[in-house]
Amino acid sequence: MKVEIKYTGGILNLPSSVADLAPIASEEQLKVLLSLAGAPQHLNDIEPFLTTISQRLSISINEIKNALAFWVEKGVLSVEGLEVAVQSAAISEAAVQNREPAYTGKQILSYVEKNKDFRALCNECQNVLGKSFTAQDYNNVMQLKSYYKFSDEFILLLLTHCVEIEKSSWAYIRKTAANLYDEGIFSYSKLEEHFAARRNKRSLEYKIRKLLGIGEREFTKSEKGYIEKWIGLKTNFDVISKAYDITIEKTGKLSYAYMAKILDNWHNNGIKTAEDVEKSLEDYKNKQKISMSTFETDDFFEAALKRSNEEMMERRKK
């Protein structure tokens, strides 16, 4: 089968690397690149022509900029000022779909077949998620790789974390990926630190929920304020438990305000462990005993002096 290209309407001049990248480029990305190649007069200053290109291609200006960013990333284009324009827009849950590239089934199949490293990554992802991948699953992994530029190790840790907390839907994974991107967490080591901090928070929060009988319901606004403060200060759970016991003993009920005053006082006095609490309570009891002993002695001398004065007055009368 012989194919002949007819150059009746001019010639598009593109780098040969575009042919290799075509299987992983979305339809919008290819449209934008071909449009620019066919209108080189726009290249000196594309900004005034964005609306025209958007209307002609039936895609948004934001999609055009994202397509340009894709080709910049792949080394096909160089666009001044584009990085600022793209990164200035925060990624929200609603915007994730619009900002991430979408691939056709044929593109995905072609890319998976040609790229053994990506195929190996997807095999590992299937093992982590415990499912066989559909075209959409492959598409999701490709988005994590091509848009967010996450490493294979990063992606596997992200999926493992989502499975551990029993939130392994792609909707949740994509939302988490967007949040990580916004927070500037790109490296594997930073992701490890981030998830470790979240595990510690969940562990303490779970214990507090159980202690206070909150269960799985949402915190009230006041509860959230108190509990987030204790977690933020990294308050020892045994110390929180001691404060709870004292609160119930003194007030007969759970009083967040009373409990918070106890914990604030202990925190301000450097009391950080259950042992510190016991020592503080023992010191307080000893001081109370000394105070009571002094009070009783003073009463004794005062009574004795009064009796002595009364006896002296009686003798004078005689």
27 neighbors 65 (Cβ within 8 angstroms): no
Q: Give the separation between CA 78 and CA 279, rounded to whole angstroms.
A: 67
Six-digit token string for 295: 């009070």
223 neighbors 193 (Cβ within 8 angstroms): no
Could you read off the pLDDT of 28-82 as tens digits, one per residue? 888 888 888 887 776 777 777 788 888 888 888 878 888 888 888 888 888 876 6
Cβ burial of 241 (10 Å; 0-12, 13-18, 19+) is middle
Residue 270 pLDDT > 80: yes
Could you read off the pLDDT of 290-312 as tens digits, one per residue? 665 555 555 555 655 566 566 66
How many beta carbons lie within 10 A of that of residue 62, not counting itself?
16
Note the pLDDT of residue 197.
80
Residue indicated by tokens 């958007």: 54
Dihedral of CA 149/154/158/163: which sign? positive
Residue 35 identity? S
What's the pTM value of the predicted model, to 2 decimals? 0.43
Note the pLDDT of residue 94.
41
